[in-house]
Amino acid sequence: MILHKLQGYIQCIYLVEYPEKLLLLDGCSRADIPVIKTFITQTLQRSFSDLKLVVVTHMHPDHAGAAHKLRDLTGCSIAASNVEGQWYQGFDGKLMHLTDMILAKWVAKRLNKPASKVWYPSKLNPDYKLDDGQGLPDFEDWVCISTQGHTDRDISLHHLPTNKVYVADLMVMVKGHFIPPFPVFYPNRYRDSLYKIIDLKPDNIILAHGGEVQPTKQQLQYLLSKSPKIPKTHWRAVKLRIKSIIKRTS
């Protein structure tokens, strides 16, 4: 197993190479498709169809954005968490889907990235639905871990032989500190997920935003201390902003 780290549009891309197949640890951004194709076909000198499985850890634009298109292009399968329904459901879901794509473009602009397409379907149709503790289909050395909190369907991926775990957005690194992501819809689940990863005692933690790291006990304790007690969501942020404006002008 060779783990390749590529710089994606607004996140890291992790492509796992095996002699006869390739695994993508997350669904990436729509804008990342040319990067992935070029790396596979030119750098690795392999067929694009060697990509056999794409895992979607959750439905945000930089984790699910390329999944369906990659399946169309390569014939790969898609795996995701075994959670009922769709993340972006109903009218509120459509608004949140739009908001998340706008946020992705905003992040890209802050990173001085050129404008690119980030639109992707709001509904995911995976070929496999993974339960907690289940091995990835045809990649049994990787095990799915349910790490909800950021959304209701987040998963992490534990590589058993190396004891490395890809946690997607479970934590992000800012100015040398590990902090919770935004949003956190389910704070109790989020805290439980942190303890689940800590209890694994992984040799390395792989972040979607921050690379491969080895947090110290002090850094993990800081992360736990910053874990929210109430949901931190788009709508709560907007309401707090409106309240602040009203307070200043009243």
The CATH number given to whatever domain includes residue 74 is 3.60.15.10
Is this prediction's pTM over 0.85? yes
Percent of the chain exceeding pLDDT 90 equals 91
| In-domain check, residue 248 | no
pLDDT in tens, 38-80: 999 999 999 999 999 999 999 999 999 999 999 999 999 999 9
Percent of the chain exceeding pLDDT 70 equals 94
Range of the domain at 196: 2-225
pLDDT score recorded for residue 235? 67
pLDDT in tens, 140-172: 999 999 999 999 999 999 999 999 999 999 999
| In-domain check, residue 149 | yes
| In-domain check, residue 178 | yes
pLDDT score recorded for residue 234? 73
| In-domain check, residue 244 | no
Q: Quick check: 243 pLDDT over 70?
A: no
The identity of residue 227, as a single letter, is: S
| In-domain check, residue 234 | no
pLDDT score recorded for residue 250? 55
- Mean pLDDT value across the chain: 94
pLDDT in tens, 187-230: 999 999 999 999 999 999 999 999 999 999 999 999 999 999 99
- Number of domains the chain contains: 1
| In-domain check, residue 187 | yes
pLDDT score recorded for residue 244? 52
pLDDT score recorded for residue 197? 98
pLDDT score recorded for residue 175? 86
| In-domain check, residue 236 | no
pLDDT score recorded for residue 242? 47
